[in-house]
Amino acid sequence: MGFKEEYEFWKTDSFFDEKTKQELISIENDTKEIEDRFYRDLEFGTAGLRGVIGAGTNRMNVYTVAKATAGLAQYIISCGPEAVARGVVISYDSRNFSPEFAAITAGTLAAYGISSKLSDELRPVPMLSYSVRYFKAFAGVMITASHNPAKYNGYKVYGEDGGQVPPEAADAVLANIEAIKDIRAIKTMKLDEAVAAGLVTYFGSEVDEAYTEMLTKLVVDQGAIDRQAGMSIVYTPLHGSGNKPVRRILERVGFKNIHIVAEQELPDGNFPTVALPNPENPDALSMAIELAKKTNASLVFGTDPDSDRIGAAARIEKDGEVTYKCFTGNQMGLMLLDYILDAKKQAGTLPADSFAVTTIVSSKLAGAICAAYGVELQEVLTGFKFIGERIKLDDEFGSKHFQFGFEESYGYLSGRDVRDKDAVVAAMLICNMAAASFEKGETLADRLAHVYEKYGYGFEEAVSVTLEGKEGIEKIQNCMTELRNELEASTDVSASDTLLGGVKVLAVRDYKTSKRYDLSGSEVKITPITLPKSNVLLYELGGEKGLDWACARPSGTEPKLKIYFGVYDSSEKEASDRLASVKSQVSGFVKEKLK
């Protein structure tokens, strides 16, 4: 069916509820809106579903969630009786319709004979990941749209290792979804009936306690916490799911002076106090910083709705004036990496064959830090599922020892019992690190300065261009195609100066074609890339340390093209100035291709 026919079907068929029909009737004169809602099915990728809440095949609603769950159910059944018997763990965050989407997920699985354990209240991503492993379930589902605007929700699928499903499994689920030609044929069961039949059971405090106890074992320096237990800390859950687990672990390890932003404490899917519930944005911490000034807090931090990302700021007092410095995701990742490795080395608890993991678009200074401690650094594609995969392969089933993982988008992980980014453990580690600095009379801003002094200066930024709707997706795809066409046409190395509008390019990594183009010599040399395929172009720019880079990639979870930059130098000013120049040239060049 075309989008108009699909619209008429949803608007008139008795299968759909009256509220859905009325919503669709209200847009019957808006052809563009109808097309956007029905021109495709909401895309199911390696991160599952994510989209705007509403009626339509290209929207998040109980029907699209049921269809995705039916595809997942068929995949589980195809994996054999043991997979069916182990079942699925389901959790959800504070977004609008998250409980309803969790309920339809459980009911649909039950209709296919698959049992599930459903969280008895909202719980964050890291607890869902932990719970899959705790219950030895075959899969997990988390209802969340992470840090997206309030109009979004999503559906993330996890494998038996607690990590997001790998591409092969996602492709199998997608094939099952696409095989459903009539949405009315999907089996469903009401939640109360599934509970009565024993196919759905609830979980709660047992997992809370086990997860919290696991986190206590990841404390780096308990002595520092004990000595600075009274340090003033401000936390905001940003209306999300982090409130209880974050406060629980901080209190358990001994912090006694924690202030919560009352206006942002309780769950609310409308996120009324912030423009965007994303701690990557310093504005999201503005209310927390105001409270910090009143409480003389040394540290401020906030978590996003599903509590997998965390942003933080440190108090700085100079000439009688108090300000709070917000850290980037890369800066916090570098500080935590250096802190954990240094503390373990000093304590004699850093094992041989240790490794850390970061992503291709994260700070290149991580390599210098790991080298200083004799720790292997592994780089993976963007997405924490790839970090989780390295833990599984090299630690759980290998002979190496995972120490820490981070990505530039404010995601961090310590320990091997969770396989996705975990703002709860990150909150505990950041507070532990702040306590260790505080007893030396220093702030986290001082610690960051020490990191730069020791390893060199590195500055990274990212520019996101949001283009929603069908036209936006097409523009992003066309932009990436045009950039690749220019690369393929660069058979003469002299053409490399034109690839990014005048920025000198030494090499280009095209992760979609698995080719690296070396443009540094007299002729182009092409070598293979061993990482999985991904729609990413990374440009190697050289610089004083040979580490400068730029990157273009469509977001896997939002209607955005993301443009990244990284510049490294022994001089702070040189690094800063060069970043500004590269950012201006590259972003301007790429944005022109999006018009």
How many Cα atoms occupy the beta-carbon half-sphere of 222 within 13 Å? 10
- Residues 590 and 592: their CA atoms lie apart, in Å, by 5
**How many CB atoms sit inside 10 A of residue 559's CB?**
19
H-type helices in 348-456, by residue range? 365-372, 384-390, 423-438, 444-455
Asked if 88 and 155 touch (Cβ cutoff 8 Å), the reply is: no
Q: Is position 354 annotated as part of the catalytic site? A: no
- Residues 356 and 406: their CA atoms lie apart, in Å, by 9
Could you list the beta-strand ranges (E) of 371-530: 376-380, 401-407, 411-413, 457-466, 507-510, 515-518, 525-528
Q: List residues bridging with 515 in a β-sheet.
A: 510, 528
DSSP 236-272: E-TTSS-HHHHHHHHHHHT---EEE-GGGTS--TT-T
> Chain centroid to CA 36: how far?
26
Asked if 560 and 466 touch (Cβ cutoff 8 Å), the reply is: yes
**Among 146, 307, 534, 587, the one annotated catalytic:** 146
Asked if 108 and 281 touch (Cβ cutoff 8 Å), the reply is: no
Residues 6 or more apart whose CB falls under 8 angstroms from that of 164 comprise 46, 47, 48, 156, 157, 158, 383, 384, 385, 388, 419, 420
Please identify which residue in the block is written with the tokens 């990436």: 480
Residue 71's φ and ψ, nearest 5 degrees, are -65, -40
Asked if 339 and 350 touch (Cβ cutoff 8 Å), the reply is: no
> Chain centroid to CA 2: how far?
34
DSSP conformational letter for 395: I
User: How far apart, in Å, are the Cα atoms of 488 and each of 124, 423, 510, 516, 531?
Assistant: 44, 41, 10, 11, 20
Please identify which residue in the block is written with the tokens 């702030």: 443
- What are the structure tokens assigned to 400, written together? 């190496």
Q: Could you give the 3-state DSSP secondary structure of residue 577?
A: helix
What CA dihedral angle connects 230, 312, 335 and 380, to 10 degrees? 140
Residue 488's φ and ψ, nearest 5 degrees, are -60, -30
Among residues 281, 291, 181, 278, the alpha carbon closest in space to that of 233 is found at 291
Residues 6 or more apart whose CB falls under 8 angstroms from that of 32 comprise none
- Residues 115 and 87: their CA atoms lie apart, in Å, by 5
Asked if 459 and 575 touch (Cβ cutoff 8 Å), the reply is: yes
Please identify which residue in the block is written with the tokens 């910090």: 292
Instruction: Please report which helix (H) or strand (E) contains residue 141, including its range.
Output: strand 139-143
- Residues 129 and 411: their CA atoms lie apart, in Å, by 15
- Residues 239 and 277: their CA atoms lie apart, in Å, by 8
Active-site residue set:
146
